[in-house]
């Protein structure tokens, strides 16, 4: 089974390049070009993980992330922020809010693949243990 990843980024070139690399690595990658369309896509077909840009014109990544976390059906999806903002304060804020990781642009596709695989595996392990505990 392919793991699904939703890429939410307003830069079409970034989304397309990352989607191609993720598909080559065995993921089912889809894209959304704004925070609003990304949230709608996640509601329609919840992905196994999300790659989320920080700076978008309609809704920034933090607001989209907050809205994801408020929805019980989407709250446990691992979110990897991908941003051109290299300031440590942005990284710390994202991780403190509960993001899985904070990667910077230009990105290393291999690093993104590794981070996503680990996040999806951890999420699966947590779900497995939760079901066993009940």
Residues 60, 9: contact at Cβ < 8 Å? Answer: no
CA quadruple 8, 13, 17, 19: dihedral positive or negative?
A: positive
User: Domains in the chain, ordered, with CATH?
Assistant: 4-133 (3.40.50.2300)
> Phi, psi (5° rounding) for residue 11?
-90, 105
Residues 35, 65: contact at Cβ < 8 Å? Answer: no
Task: Indicate the SS3 state at residue 98.
Answer: coil
Q: For tokens 């595996």, what's the residue?
A: 121
Q: What is the pLDDT of residue 6?
A: 98
Summarize the confidence of residues 40-64 as an average pLDDT: 95
- Cis (ω within 30 of 0) for the bond into 106? yes
Summarize the confidence of residues 66-86 as an average pLDDT: 94
pLDDT, tens digit, for every residue of 77-125? 999 999 988 888 889 999 999 999 999 999 999 999 999 999 999 887 6
Task: Return the DSSP state at 26.
Answer: T
The confidence band for 128, taking pLDDT boundaries of 50, 70 and 90, is: very low
């Amino acid at each position: 089974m392919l793991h699904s990843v939703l890429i939410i980024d307003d830069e079409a070139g970034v989304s397309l390049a990352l989607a191609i690399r993720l598909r080559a690595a065995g993921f089912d990658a889809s894209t959304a070009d704004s925070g609003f369309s990304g949230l709608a896509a996640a509601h329609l077909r919840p992905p196994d993980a999300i790659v989320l840009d920080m700076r978008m014109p309609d809704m920034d990544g933090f607001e989209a992330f907050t809205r994801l976390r408020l929805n019980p059906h989407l709250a446990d999806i691992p979110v990897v922020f991908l941003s051109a903002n290299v300031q440590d304060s942005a990284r710390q804020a994202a991780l403190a809010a509960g993001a899985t990781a904070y990667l910077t642009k230009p990105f290393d596709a291999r690093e993104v693949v590794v981070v996503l695989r680990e996040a999806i595996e951890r999420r699966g392990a947590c779900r497995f243990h939760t079901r066993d505990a009940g």
